Amino acid sequence: MKPRRMLLAAACIALILPFAAPAQDETEKGLEKYRQMLKEDPWSNPGFLDADRGETLWMTPRGPKNVSLEACDLGKGPGRVDGAFAELPRYFADADRVMDVETRVLWCMATLQGFSREQLTTKPHPAGGQPVKEIGAIATFIASKSNGLAFAAPLGPKEKEMAALGEALFVRRSGPFDFACATCHAEEGRRIRLQGLPVLAQPEAARKVVGEWPGYRVSASHVMTMQHRLYDCYWQMRMPELEFGSEASVALVAYLVKQAQGGPISAPGLKR
Amino acid sequence: MRSTLVSLAAFALLAALPAWAQTSTISPDRIDAVIKSAFPNAPEDFKSRLLPDATMKDCTAHANNPPPAIAEAIQKSEAATIQYPPDGKFLGDWRKGEALAQSGYGLRFSDYPPTRANGGNCYACHQLTRQELSYGTVGPSLLEYGKLRDFKAEDAKTVYEKIYDPHVALACSLMPRFGSNKVLTIDQIKDIVALLMSPDSPVNK
């Protein structure tokens, strides 16, 4: 990698960080400028450090069984990473479950490498400023290997059922604030405070943002995965802690990816 | 005869529902089971959050756009949950109300054990004062709310009811039921009513 450039990138990002909420418009402009820079030099996104870390984790023999993840089948055969993310979530016969990238990596680390599932799913997401955890780094690596491709998740009966379940969860209201995902993500031009709310219920809007996950989150200075994003949205909804790799989390990812079908993948993206 | 008309009307509305509301192939039991297993570590007093109450069930089933008969039934049952201030006064202290409108604290899993009172987080969704530029637009602007209503006493009562339980005025409002769901106390709601309805509140300047 190019550490000098990474440092430069980190400095740029620090400069565009919001100092106060009303500076948000400026922040958006700064982010846009930075996104432009990234197009010219994609390697200056600090999220690629985590993709690199993920690649090393993928290739290194580790865990109680001391094997690498190169026997892990992401859907295109053991060890095939290129283009695999574009076809997730999908049904895996060995696990008899539909899985998104993070759930699949968890499954491979537990079954192939012998890591404890419980340890991997306790505190699965980083606190602000901390680097993304191992599963997230590996997911970032896998996602980045589908860059430039369009989402084309298989839509067999099991995957379809999962996306339908995700849609049902998306509109389901409960909790002390009576929120559903749709409360915040179903209407055009809405904001929470100054944060724009993508209309994930509409394919055009979903196609623009879903492919940027996992993404480098500037305000927390770490890579955030899609499961982490959903965990955070349930936190705002005053619901309990979303279980990593739960059926609900996979179903929501399946729904979001179905909404974004045909949209481009550019991971890690750059988020507020 | 009357019931035939009602069911005809209900039928007509059902036909107008968005596709997902009619064709969702996922049974409610499956959804509830999936939700339960998504939050295996939910503390005991969070468990009730996993299941929707009758109003939320109806609103979800009708994509927040229920047929008139159901809307009316929701409005009636929600109205019965409102508790009014024992002293009959609806206006508290707008300064405290402004602090509550700013605060998003409370009821998140990271807010336990509580270290301060719950907030109303009104600015997340509404513009309220000219000074605060960081406001959301999920709900309408409430700028000059009292001034536009000539500070009428009956409007203070209406606002109290709206904050206590927004489903009385609009069956499937997207706004939280701050009173009925015990997010805010009667006194806190009075303070927020004062923020909207006092002539000296920054909302009306």
What phi, psi does A123 have (nearest 5°)?
A: 45, 60
Question: How confident is the model at residue B10, as a pLDDT?
Answer: 44
Domains in chain B (CATH in brackets) are 8-79 (no CATH), 94-204 (1.10.760.10)
User: Is pLDDT of B18 > 80?
Assistant: no
Question: How confident is the model at residue A20, as a pLDDT?
Answer: 41
Chain B contact for A22, CB < 8 A? yes
Confidence band for A39, pLDDT divided at 50, 70 and 90: low
Interior CA angle at A130 toward A124 and A133, to 5°? 35
Asked if A172 lies within 8 A of B136 by C-beta distance, the reply is no
Residues of B in contact with A175 (CB under 8 A): 49
- How does the average pLDDT of chain B come out, rounded? 91
- Chain A residue at shortest CA distance from B182: A176
What is the helix (H) or strand (E) element at residue A91, kind and residue range? strand A90-92
Average pLDDT over residues A31-39: 69
* Residues of A known to be catalytic: 233
Confidence band for B25, pLDDT divided at 50, 70 and 90: confident
CA A220 to chain centre: 15
Average pLDDT over residues A232-240: 97
Q: Which of A154, A155, A267 is nearest to A209 (CA)?
A: A267
Chain A contact for B136, CB < 8 A? yes
Contact B46, B35 (CB under 8 A): no
Confidence band for A33, pLDDT divided at 50, 70 and 90: confident
Chain B contact for A172, CB < 8 A? yes
User: Is pLDDT of A6 > 70?
Assistant: no
Calculated CA dihedral for residues A181, A184, A186, A189, nearest 10 degrees: -160
In this structure, of A150-164, B1-15, B37-51, the range with the lowest mean pLDDT score is B1-15
Domains in chain A (CATH in brackets) are 45-271 (1.10.760.10)
Contact A165, A251 (CB under 8 A): yes
Residue A103: CB atoms within 10 A of its CB come to 25
Both ends of chain B: CA-CA distance in Å? 54
In this prediction, what percent of chain A has a pLDDT beyond 90?
81
Asked if A180 lies within 8 A of B60 by C-beta distance, the reply is yes
Chain A contact for B124, CB < 8 A? yes
User: Is pLDDT of B52 > 90?
Assistant: yes
pTM, full prediction:
0.91
User: Is pLDDT of B15 > 70?
Assistant: no
User: Is pLDDT of A50 > 80?
Assistant: yes
Q: Which of B104, B103, B111, B105 is nearest to B43 (CA)?
A: B111
Q: How far apart are CA B178 and CA B182, in angstroms?
A: 6
Smallest CA–CA distance, residue A191 to chain B, in Å, is: 5
Contact A248, B42 (CB under 8 A): no
Contact A85, A166 (CB under 8 A): no
ipTM score for this prediction: 0.92
Question: How confident is the model at residue A170, as a pLDDT?
Answer: 98
Average pLDDT over residues B125-134: 97
Smallest CA–CA distance, residue B74 to chain A, in Å, is: 14
User: Is pLDDT of A108 > 70?
Assistant: yes
Asked if A174 lies within 8 A of B59 by C-beta distance, the reply is no
Smallest CA–CA distance, residue A226 to chain B, in Å, is: 15
Q: How far apart are CA A260 and CA A205, in angstroms?
A: 8
Asked if B37 lies within 8 A of A173 by C-beta distance, the reply is no
What is the helix (H) or strand (E) element at residue A148, kind and residue range? none
pLDDT in tens, A170-228: 999 999 999 999 999 999 999 999 999 999 999 999 999 999 999 999 889 999 999 99
Confidence band for A32, pLDDT divided at 50, 70 and 90: confident
- How does the average pLDDT of chain A come out, rounded? 90
Pair type for strands A97-99 and A90-92:
antiparallel
Question: How confident is the model at residue A28, as a pLDDT?
Answer: 65
